[in-house]
Amino acid sequence: MLIVKKFGGTSVADKEKIFNVANRCAEDYKAGHDVIVVLSAMGKQTDYLLDLAREINPKAPKRELDMLLTTGEQTSVALMAMALHALGVPAISLNAFQVDMRTNSTYGNAKIKRIDTDRINRELEMRKVVIITGFQGVNRYEDYTTLGRGGSDTTAVAIASALHADKCEIYTDVDGVYTADPRIVADASKMSEITYDEMLELASLGAGVLHNRSVEMAKKYGVPLVVRSSLNNSEGTVVKEEVKMEKLAVRGVVSDKNTARISVIGLKDIPGVAFKLFNHLARYDINVDIILQSIGRDGTKDISFTVSKDNVDEAIEIIERHRTGSLQYQKIDVEKSVAKVSIVGAGMNTHAGVAAKMFEALYDVGVNIKMISTSEIRVTVLIDDEYVEKAVKAVHDKFALSEHH
**Shortest Å distance, C-beta 343 to a second copy:** 46
Among 49, 243, 292, 319, binds a second copy (CB under 8 A): 49
SS3 181: coil
Q: Is 210 left (phi over 0), alpha (psi -120 to 50) or beta?
A: beta
Cα-to-chain-centroid distance, residue 325: 37
- Rounded CA separation 356/255 (Å): 18
Which residues within the stretch 54-113 sit at the binding site for a second copy (CB under 8 A)?
Answer: 55-57, 59-61, 63-65, 67-68, 70-71, 74-75, 77-79, 81-83, 85-86, 92-93, 95, 97-98
Sign of torsion over alpha carbons 346, 349, 354, 359? positive
**346 in contact with a second copy (CB under 8 A):** no
Q: What track of x and - describes contact with a second copy for positions 129 through 168 (by CB under 8 A)?
A: -------------xx-------------------------
**For a second copy, the closer CB: 15 or 268:** 15
Closest to 201 in 3D by CA, of 369, 373, 384? 373
**For a second copy, the closer CB: 139 or 230:** 139
Closest to 151 in 3D by CA, of 191, 111, 199, 101? 111
**For a second copy, the closer CB: 87 or 248:** 87
**Shortest Å distance, C-beta 50 to a second copy:** 11
Closest to 156 in 3D by CA, of 48, 280, 239, 276? 239
205, 344 Cβ separation under 8 angstroms: yes
**383 in contact with a second copy (CB under 8 A):** no
**15 in contact with a second copy (CB under 8 A):** yes
**Shortest Å distance, C-beta 369 to a second copy:** 50
**For a second copy, the closer CB: 65 or 194:** 65
Residue 386 identity: E
**For a second copy, the closer CB: 65 or 217:** 65
Residue 92 identity: I
273, 229 Cβ separation under 8 angstroms: no
**Shortest Å distance, C-beta 94 to a second copy:** 9
127, 90 Cβ separation under 8 angstroms: yes
Footprint of a second copy (CB under 8 A): 15, 18-19, 49, 52-53, 55-57, 59-61, 63-65, 67-68, 70-71, 74-75, 77-79, 81-83, 85-86, 92-93, 95, 97-98, 119, 142-143
